[in-house]
Structure 1
């Protein structure tokens, strides 16, 4: 376990009083669509420690001004966000001021930081654990990057590793390994500025595969090991979960929009028709009937229906399959290079809009040599069938993330914790409650 020097900066959202208002809002800023969920916190407590939530407002809009998860046109992105949020507010009958944001850009990077400290009084208490987490966060110095997540993954007491809950144990030295997820500072700042131009405050930011995992994975998958692959419009993101925590994440800049572009270029058809063909007729795997099934393909710049080409469905599959194979190869290479691939075991969960493509699950199973299922949000009420599928996993997961992020922090604490990032203290406190 390495000891690291002091001096770093973490991205801190503005905490919102979700507990007092009873309403939380999630905003997923993607390359193909922007979606907003508004939910009401219900009385009671679920088995995982979360309060049950009921979705009362939903809004989504075709994304503009976003490419590969990053803002490339501030005005266009602002307008799209405003439309999505306004639709959700109208449906919910409330006005929101704070949002938890999910995104897949800014090149997220994983790194594990290990720290050790002496135990005060011989018995590990909450203060010892909090102090250690604070040191791990403060000691991490990614140049030009901001820390989004600091997730404890493993504790040790006097060198004995594999401790899941050190509180109440006796020893002289307490150690922790913390999974730090950082992202490029510039794209994060642009995203925050764009949202603030919509008169909204950013209460927290989560990388999309983490949020999707919170929405789609069951407890056994998180404990035994699983790879979460979120197939978005501009990026495909990866997160590996083990023993209940995310231990690695990464992303590749290929998504469903690239398939649409390939179809448009390969068949000389407008992008809107390429997207329609992908949705209605697209498949990642060939079938015996593909040669006989013909598809009409409108041509770019032609308004006469008689000028449309007629192609066999096999030609469309021949465009889609290589791009998906490339995507899964890149994900497989990232998993193997990370050193965490073995922790995922033989389980993969696909989600995101591109995961709904016919044959994507079967192709992923073949390329990754693992058991694959398509995941969609669970444990949420109020979602219609159209918004309860894989395409909305990130937005749904942000509602779960909001319960472990700094959404109900207000004011500083006394003593040593007063100098610590307020949101991270609250997040870690919630993490303890939910996991132990």
Structure 2
């Protein structure tokens, strides 16, 4: 089993009692989960807080003070529930800010055994090839993920450690983020007296919480349609091999409804939730809905329209989103490895009929995803894979897939992430790596 799948589906490497927190800053909501490891080594959520998001537009911070207030409120609620004060958080980076690239590196071995030090050299060499922005400035490197290894021309190697050969080649998927927006995000969080321990790409967090092992291995695309952004991640052979995003989401559908029916945004959001659908039915012409008008509070001034009018506004925007996704997937060159499987998640994915529309436009098998690595107390099941417990029904749906994935990402080995992670004591701790270093005689 490859390195990414190993940490994901084997026992977590943290020790009992470690407390860690995930902070999901989105366009419509800010969510904070606080968890600790139980006696079985499984993450258990002990604090939950979510707040209406303000000051974020299409995944970018637009108002520092508004973001500070929303983050402070969400974190304070989670801290009060958990009875813990947190200082460090794992934070998501919105997909439209990300740059995905695949780089190839090689290491001469001269007939000797491949060691951990060799793997570290390959990763370090790949990280030097990280992309720059249009102005030639360095971007923040978030993830260095292996795609595949080749040893003396032999492809399909999942874990080369311990093998013997002359030349080891590797392809790595580098995920970088724009410097300015990331620093702005970190500054806004710092104003809440919190330290950003790790940044995680949103498509990776969604995939970690919603995909099963077979989907990661055989090829799958995870699509997270949030309020202001849409994240795209392609997984193959256990790794995320491509990531992308669109600055468009469910909030744009609500804006279309508000403009098309001349109602307020709040009423548009409510009608989308209560009556929205991605497909028309014959009954929609007969079903009448009340549409309050802008500036008119009295119910008698509301318009009475067939539900079909609402759906005819929703449909074109959804079709546009999926057509843009289809174009991005075709442009990626990863269509063959992505396979015919799509997992749709995010708050907007709960719209009725969206699964069939996605299947028709993308020409793939589509299922709706929610955080799978969740076990509630009444289930009484224990697994060797990281399984979140303690989440309520209201916070275990598709809208919280990214937040749950951030907690799973907290257990990720530092070797796959250029930024230092939580200082858990496990198999990749300092003393363990020092012992391996001594054994290798370096």
TM-score by length of 1: 0.87
Task: Give the counterpart of 2:39 among 26, 29, 43.
Answer: 43
Q: Is the 8 A contact 2:96 2:246 kept in 1?
A: no
Shift, 1:161, TM fit: 2.1
Where does residue 119 of structure 1 map in the other structure? 109
Q: Is the 8 A contact 2:198 2:420 kept in 1?
A: no
Distance 2:111 2:423 in 1: 22
Where does residue 257 of structure 1 map in the other structure? 251
Three-state SS of the structure 2 residue aligned to 1:172 is strand
Shift, 1:124, TM fit: 0.7
Cα deviation 1:158-204 (Å, max 9, x = unaligned): 23222111112111111111100111111001001100110000011
Q: Is the 8 A contact 1:30 1:103 kept in 2?
A: no
Where does residue 390 of structure 1 map in the other structure? 398
Where does residue 27 of structure 1 map in the other structure? 23
**Match status 1:210 vs 2:218:** no
TM-score by length of 2: 0.86
Distance 1:191 1:242 in 2: 30
Shift, 1:304, TM fit: 1.0
Shift, 1:230, TM fit: 0.4
Where does residue 65 of structure 1 map in the other structure? 55
Shift, 1:403, TM fit: 0.5
Q: Is the 8 A contact 2:197 2:420 kept in 1?
A: no
Where does residue 341 of structure 1 map in the other structure? 335
Aligned residues: 399
**Match status 1:403 vs 2:411:** yes
Where does residue 7 of structure 2 map in the other structure? none
Kindly tell me: are residues 289 and 421 of structure 1, through their superposed partners in 2, closer, same or farther at Cα, counting changes over 3 Å? closer
Cα deviation 1:378-410 (Å, max 9, x = unaligned): 222111111110000000000000100549x9x
Kindly tell me: are residues 322 and 405 of structure 1, through their superposed partners in 2, closer, same or farther at Cα, counting changes over 3 Å? farther
**Match status 1:98 vs 2:106:** no
Where does residue 414 of structure 1 map in the other structure? none
Task: Give the counterpart of 2:157 among 121, 139, 163.
Answer: 163
Q: Is the 8 A contact 2:110 2:165 kept in 1?
A: no
Q: Is the 8 A contact 1:215 1:376 kept in 2?
A: yes
Distance 2:161 2:334 in 1: 27
Shift, 1:129, TM fit: 0.9
CA RMSD after TM alignment: 2.4
Cα deviation 1:85-128 (Å, max 9, x = unaligned): 11111111111100000131552111011111122761111111
Structure 1, unaligned runs of 5 or more: 1-16, 45-50, 410-419
Three-state SS of the structure 1 residue aligned to 2:165 is coil
Q: Is the 8 A contact 1:68 1:105 kept in 2?
A: no
Three-state SS of the structure 2 residue aligned to 1:289 is helix
Three-state SS of the structure 2 residue aligned to 1:165 is coil
Distance 2:422 2:17 in 1: 21
Task: Give the counterpart of 2:167 among 170, 173, 187.
Answer: 173
Kindly tell me: are residues 258 and 405 of structure 1, through their superposed partners in 2, closer, same or farther at Cα, counting changes over 3 Å? farther
Q: Is the 8 A contact 1:203 1:406 kept in 2?
A: no
Structure 2, unaligned runs of 5 or more: 1-12, 374-387, 433-442
Shift, 1:209, TM fit: 1.4
**Where in structure 1 do 4 or more consecutive aligned residues deviate above 4 Å?**
17-21, 420-426
